[in-house]
Amino acid sequence: MTRVLVTGGAGFIGSHLVDALVARGDTVRVLDNFSTGRRENLVAVQDQIELVEGDLRDPDAVAQAVNGVDLVFHQGALPSVPRSVADPLTSHEVNSTGTLRLLLAARDAGVRRVVVASSSSVYGDTPTLPKVEMMATSPRSPYAISKLASEQYAGSFAQLFDLETVALRYFNVFGPRQDPYSSYAGVIPRFCLAAWRGAPCLIYGDGQQSRDFTFVADVVQANLLAAAAPEASGHTFNIAYGAQTTLLDVVAILRELTGQALEVRHEAPRAGDVRHSLAAIGKAQELLGYQPQVRFAEGLERTLGWYQHQV
């Protein structure tokens, strides 16, 4: 039985990971300050986990959270490119400094491995596709910079100290529990909610921008593999489906799924947004054994069904 900490475990991705860890019989502790995480995400497992309510910026809370654990899944972060543009300092403090505090505490507590959540945003808007891990990074937003700093801190700890680390660059994760109400909400939850409400789908730009949308179950799979893969320490991996979908494609699929003639409303592009995104996932397939299981249309249908109950 593995003793595991999930930072940000009440969040969208973190709570799905907590569910999977509990299901396989691990002893699970969650660290979350509930700034973006939701208590209801943990209701089904609340009697099977230990909850430490605290902030990544608080060294005492972080030290308490890592004490006695073998493995850390570091999902805790302040998400969103637009949020980071509006408030760069807080994004840096939570994502960069918070990760450094966690790595220091994990090293001092004798943790075996830390799996760090990074982001495809570190690549920036360079035209070369697909994105390969060896490419030069070119982050365009404070959020992207903070994520790059997080994964580089992780890599340096793997080289300098007796602490294994793995960084996973997520590409546009979506699925049930993703918050549709925040002003910084991702496009999939916003579109799903709009579809059930009969409201227009708001697109910043012409809608031809594309993303490599990745269903949350595949991200959970990647984390579990990254925690166990013997050759993974010190590496960074793209975690994605490996295909491009435009925002107008998303609307078209939602029209098919709902049978509604969904309206689209266009507004000016947002600062810091990337035009196109597509991942090469060969490295994760080779070293982790990762293989995406959920096609985009299937994942969107499952996600849409969940949001029907949130209207």
- In eight-state DSSP terms, residue 234 is T
- Burial grade of 90 (CB within 10 A; 0-12, 13-18, 19 or more): middle
What distance in Å separates the CA atoms of residue 98 and residue 102, rounded to the nearest whole number? Answer: 6
Composition of the chain by helix, strand, coil, percent to 5: 40, 20, 40
Distance CA 178, CA 262 (A): 21
Residues serving a catalytic function are 143
Query: Residue type at 129?
Result: L
Tokens of 257: 């799924």
Give the distance, in angstroms, between the CA of residue 4 and the centroid of all CA atoms in the same chain: 18
> What is the distance of C-alpha 238 from the center of its chain?
12
Amino acid in the structure at residue 119: S
C-alpha to C-alpha distance for 183 and 49, rounded to whole angstroms: 31
116 within 8 A of 99, measured Cβ to Cβ: yes
Q: How many CB atoms lie within 10 A of CB 308?
A: 12
